[in-house]
A and B are shown apart, each in its own frame.
Chain A
Amino acid sequence: MTLGFYPGCSLKGSSREYAESVLAVAKAFDVEIEEITDWNCCGATAAHNLNKELSLALPARILSLAEKQGLKEIVVPCAACYSRLTVTKHELSKDPLLKATVIEANGLDYSGSVSILNIIQMLDKYITPNLGGRVVKPFDHKVACYYGCLLVRPHEILKFDREEDPQSMDILMLKTGATPIDWAYKTECCGAGLSVSRTSSVGRLSGKIIEDAKDRGAEAVIVACPMCHSNLDMRRDAINTFLGEKVDIPVLYITQALGLALGIDRKKLGLQRHFVKVTV
């Protein structure tokens, strides 16, 4: 079966290495991936902060395009897009009036039939069951698995893993040969959408995350969200300013760490694109 793919804007721009590593890992296991044609931005934080109707209409258009393309299942690697798409599907399914405003008013064909997978669910379904014998370069490092907010909350809607001490990424990393550490900031917020408009807040919030990972001996932080990545990686100057010291722990997408364990070329995983040099 073909797995649909919604990259979202970050994966085409500032986080293209996430897309590169997702596709490289999928290719290594012959998972057939098909991008949704003519997809649009999900609206992200901006839309749901300013305009509820738009925040549902934009993801609804994406899901409607996926249906039109005959896709039954899509993977959404960005945790923020995953959240917006899943919340939209949930809201439209429980409120017929809202559905009328969003779907009919915009002339969309939408039945809500597409199932939405986040990156961990995709890996657990298509990759890890076939992992045996494929790990050629065990990722033999102490890692802090950082889930952030939108991959696990709100649980009422996402129904994925535990809200405050999730395990799925830790279990996956164990299988690559890594040693996941026990730490306190697994699901604390990185500062997300305030990256540009209030960088100092991001320095503080992301700084605490990096600090705890460092204090507990992590050699790398593993993430599954482009916003988490850009705040922990691209905003490292603001983080170091907050911490008053230079911390150079690299931040890797889960698909990059997995790709390394599979022996995929570092360049194909986009590791050279990071701000904090990937030394692991």
Chain B
Amino acid sequence: MSSDPHHSIISGLSSDVLEHTEVKVSKCYQCGKCSAGCPLSEEMDFPPSVIMRMLQTDNPDLEEKVLRSFSIWVCLTCEMCFARCPMSIDIPKMMDYLRERSLKEKKANPKAKEIVAFHKSFLDSIKYTGRLYEIGLFIDYKARTLKILDDLALAPKMLKRGKLNIFPELIKDRSGVAEMFKKSSKKNNT
């Protein structure tokens, strides 16, 4: 990526965001409502309004910081920012794009390791069975994160209440679903 400002205006991250999500970061006038209403902003390295400002600058160093930020992963897509934005900027949709891009460029924030691992374990689970298999998800997640002891006490309590299936539910057209994964991940890192 060039550091020439004129070049980055046409090829920077903000224009990629626009192309893929129709979100125009230039519309943001920094009122801060998104950050004020965001339930996770206190856990973020940059609250949503600051992410918007960083993207507006078209500065490659700041764009890099956005893609490597913890913010984009701890965002829960609760849609509160979008609901309150006076300019109706679809920040959650933009966050989805930034996450996908960050993963593709292998820039996911190390602090987000568990969050990314959980999403990957979740998708792996449905890739093979078509439906979520909760025990399989837990085992896969623990293997990825080595968080062996976390939530270990939860499983027997769930079993006792009939909330865990011992065996996965297998759909018939598993190859159809697997094919969908294959097609969509060609362009992706999932």
Query: B165 contacts which chain A residues (CB < 8 A)?
Result: 12-13
- List chain B positions with a Cβ less than 8 A from chain A: 20, 39-40, 43, 74, 76-80, 82-83, 88, 90, 92, 96-97, 99-100, 103, 114-115, 117-120, 122-123, 126, 130-132, 134, 138, 141, 150-151, 154, 157-158, 161-165, 169, 171-173, 176-177, 179-181, 183-185, 187-188, 190
Q: Does A272 contact B (CB under 8 A)?
A: yes
Q: Does A192 contact B (CB under 8 A)?
A: yes
Kindly list 9 other residue pairs between chains A and B, CB separation below 8 angstroms, not including A38-B130, A44-B132, A49-B100: A38-B171, A58-B177, A61-B177, A153-B78, A191-B76, A194-B115, A196-B118, A234-B158, A273-B161
Bound together, the chains give a CA A39 to CA B97 distance in angstroms of 27
Closest residue of B by beta carbon distance from A57: B180
Given contacts A12-B131, A47-B123, contact A194 B163 (CB under 8 A): no
20 contacts between A and B (CB under 8 A): A12-B131, A13-B163, A38-B171, A43-B123, A45-B76, A50-B188, A51-B100, A52-B100, A53-B184, A54-B123, A54-B180, A54-B181, A54-B190, A55-B96, A57-B183, A105-B183, A193-B118, A193-B119, A197-B118, A273-B162
Query: B184 contacts which chain A residues (CB < 8 A)?
Result: 51, 53-54, 57
Query: B183 contacts which chain A residues (CB < 8 A)?
Result: 53, 57, 105-106
Whether B132 and A9, one on each chain, are in contact in the complex, defined by CB atoms closer than 8 angstroms, is: yes
Query: B157 contacts which chain A residues (CB < 8 A)?
Result: 275
Indicate the member of A149, A155, A199, A205 with the most B CB atoms within 10 Å: A149
Whether B190 and A272, one on each chain, are in contact in the complex, defined by CB atoms closer than 8 angstroms, is: no
Whether B40 and A201, one on each chain, are in contact in the complex, defined by CB atoms closer than 8 angstroms, is: yes
Closest residue of B by beta carbon distance from A95: B22
Whether A149 and B80, one on each chain, are in contact in the complex, defined by CB atoms closer than 8 angstroms, is: yes
Whether B80 and A153, one on each chain, are in contact in the complex, defined by CB atoms closer than 8 angstroms, is: yes
**Nearest-CB distance from B160 to chain A (Å)?**
9
Q: Does A121 contact B (CB under 8 A)?
A: no
Query: A14 contacts which chain B residues (CB < 8 A)?
Result: 134, 158, 163-164
The B interface, classified by DSSP as helix, strand, loop or mixed, is helix
Q: Does A163 contact B (CB under 8 A)?
A: yes
Query: B76 contacts which chain A residues (CB < 8 A)?
Result: 45, 149, 189, 191-194
Query: A55 contacts which chain B residues (CB < 8 A)?
Result: 96
A40's contact among B83, B96, B131, by CB below 8 Å, is which?
B131
